[in-house]
Amino acid sequence: MRRKRVMVLYGGKADEHSISCISAAGVLSAIDTGRFEPVPIGITKDGQWVVGGPDPREFDVSDGSMPVVRDVVDRPAPASDQGSVVSRSASTIGVTAPSPVVLDVSLGNNGFFARQPDGSLVSLGFIDAVFPVLHGPYGEDGTVQGLLEMMGVPYVGCGVFASAACMDKAFTKALLRAAGIPVAPDVVVDTRGFDAADGFTAGAKQVMSRINDAKLKYPLFVKPSRAGSSFGVTKLENPRDEAELAAALLEASRHDWKVLVEQGIEGREIECAILAPVATEEPQAAWPGEIVLDRREDGGDQFYDFDSKYTDSRASHVEVPARLPAEVLERVRRIAVQAFKAVDGAGLSRVDTFVTPDGTVMVNEINTMPGFTPISMYPKAWQATGVEYGELISRLIDGVSR
């Protein structure tokens, strides 16, 4: 029986580039090669699609260094007038840039072609499905999904709308509120008119007024609306400290001009993995899990930031199922499925919630392509629910490539 050929996309232009590389390494190591033929394609930080680059499974992160996709060919920087070129013919639209290692794509026949240094094209063969293991903007936000939709290529994960809506935390919360799902109070800030020269001091004064009008309670979290992996997130614990607020707004704005100032919720952060590989079937929820910060009491990480997620293995551990009463766990599962449906989710997502002391479940955010390493919450949650890592990958691919 012919193996299905699965293009695994990783890297990308977002801040989460290196996290994507680590996730892809996990997928490529666990994919059932008896049934699937993986075709790894790395995307550099400047958007080049690289064929035949280093195998992600060989990335070494043991020393704390983060992997990066690079061009496989050294070349001089292109002149300023050498932008991307779109070549068209009766049957294809080829998107090429001044590089010998980008891809051309053919609409309607699952065609991908590698451009060689002499300008010739070599077909990568028929692709049955794409697994876009991409996190953040230009990968998890509907852009790649739209490209694949135009090509008519099946792909794993949420569609254009859900990907775009869930990439923007402010829009996610608007959709959830409309569906009657509780979310944390917040104010949305447009920092494009703020002056970096004064360190956002004047802008922070305006935002502080809005915080007071909205009666937000401290602590507050200031975060980019369209970023992931805790990039640019600051916790504020000092009411009326405009200088601290200004610094937090400035830091978040480095990742996105739209910034969310959100009321901290007194409760536990519980994450629920959703699986819906076949669009016509009911989404399923795994046992909810919890990230436990092991050094919080010793003055270490006070919230689940980038370091505690990815670079300090001793900072936290995963507990699945979370240590909560069974009825609360079931409530989290039910609300997570409701949230997934509210944003028109497909394939997979991780729904992050808060569970307050009185048992109220509030949705924090929805990650449409969550971290996918073997030790990430999403695979760990499904493993605890009876679905092993490799089987999880197979189900996702089978769901879109029948």
Query: Domain 186-263 has what CATH class?
Result: alpha beta
Of the candidates 23, 106, 225, 229, the residue annotated as catalytic is 229
> CA–CA separation, 203 vs 249, rounded Å?
9
Token digits for 394?
Answer: 């197979």
Q: HSE of 145 in the Cβ direction (CA atoms, 13 Å)?
A: 25
Residue that has been written with the tokens 């801040």 in this structure: 15
- Give the chain's mean pLDDT: 85
> CA–CA separation, 378 vs 26, rounded Å?
12
Q: Is the pLDDT score of 183 beyond 90?
A: yes
List Cβ neighbours of 273 (8 Å cut-off, separation of 6 or more). 285, 286, 289, 348, 349, 350, 370, 377, 378, 381, 382, 385
Q: Is the pLDDT score of 81 beyond 80?
A: no
Would you place residue 98 in the very low, low, confident or very high pLDDT band (cuts 50, 70, 90)? Answer: very low
The annotated binding site for ATP is made up of: 169, 221-223, 229-230, 262-269, 364-365
Q: Is the pLDDT score of 6 beyond 50?
A: yes
> Which of 80, 81, 78 has its CA nearest to residue 102?
78
Check residue 54 and give its pLDDT. Answer: 80
Query: In this prediction, what percent of the chain has a pLDDT beyond 70?
Result: 82
Domain boundaries, the chain: 165-181+267-368, 186-263
Q: Where are the beta strands (DSSP E) in 277-385?
A: 284-285, 289-293, 316-319, 347-355, 361-367
Check residue 111 and give its pLDDT. Answer: 66
48-62 mean pLDDT: 80
Check residue 258 and give its pLDDT. Answer: 97
Check residue 313 and give its pLDDT. Answer: 53
Query: In this prediction, what percent of the chain has a pLDDT beyond 90?
Result: 65
Backbone φ and ψ for 357, nearest 5 degrees, come out as -55, -30
Residue that has been written with the tokens 């983060």 in this structure: 66
90-115 mean pLDDT: 50
Check residue 104 and give its pLDDT. Answer: 56
- The residue that leads in pLDDT, 328 or 50, is 328
Would you place residue 265 in the very low, low, confident or very high pLDDT band (cuts 50, 70, 90)? Answer: very high
Of the candidates 16, 140, 251, 271, the residue annotated as catalytic is 16
> CA–CA separation, 25 vs 372, rounded Å?
9
Residue 87 near residue 96 (C-beta atoms within 8 A): yes
- The residue that leads in pLDDT, 294 or 332, is 332
Q: Is the pLDDT score of 88 beyond 50?
A: no
What is the per-residue pLDDT across 315-362, written as a single tens digit (0 to 9) for each? 678 899 999 999 999 999 999 999 999 999 999 999 999 999 999 999
Q: Is residue 376 annotated as part of the catalytic site, yes or no?
A: yes
- The residue that leads in pLDDT, 189 or 95, is 189
Q: Is residue 16 annotated as part of the catalytic site, yes or no?
A: yes
Of the candidates 18, 99, 225, 376, the residue annotated as catalytic is 376
Helix or strand or coil: residue 298? Answer: helix
What is the per-residue pLDDT across 220-251, written as a single tens digit (0 to 9) for each? 999 999 987 678 999 999 998 999 999 999 99
> CA–CA separation, 367 vs 395, rounded Å?
19
281-297 mean pLDDT: 86
CA distances from 308 to 182, 207, 273, 300, 311 (A): 27, 29, 20, 9, 6
Would you place residue 305 in the very low, low, confident or very high pLDDT band (cuts 50, 70, 90)? Answer: very low
List Cβ neighbours of 92 (8 Å cut-off, separation of 6 or more). 104, 105, 106, 107, 111
Would you place residue 108 in the very low, low, confident or very high pLDDT band (cuts 50, 70, 90)? Answer: low
The annotated binding site is made up of: 169, 221-223, 229-230, 262-269, 352, 364-365, 367
Q: HSE of 184 in the Cβ direction (CA atoms, 13 Å)?
A: 29
Q: Is the pLDDT score of 48 beyond 90?
A: no
Check residue 75 and give its pLDDT. Answer: 43
Check residue 105 and give its pLDDT. Answer: 56
> CA–CA separation, 132 vs 8, rounded Å?
6
Check residue 93 and give its pLDDT. Answer: 34
The annotated binding site for Mg(2+) is made up of: 352, 365, 367
Query: Domain 165-181+267-368 has what CATH class?
Result: alpha beta
Q: Is residue 229 annotated as part of the catalytic site, yes or no?
A: yes
Least confident among 43-57, 260-274, 311-325: 311-325
Write the Ramachandran bin of 288: left for phi over 0, alpha for psi from -120 to 50, otherwise beta. beta
> CA–CA separation, 249 vs 262, rounded Å?
12
> CA–CA separation, 23 vs 67, rounded Å?
11
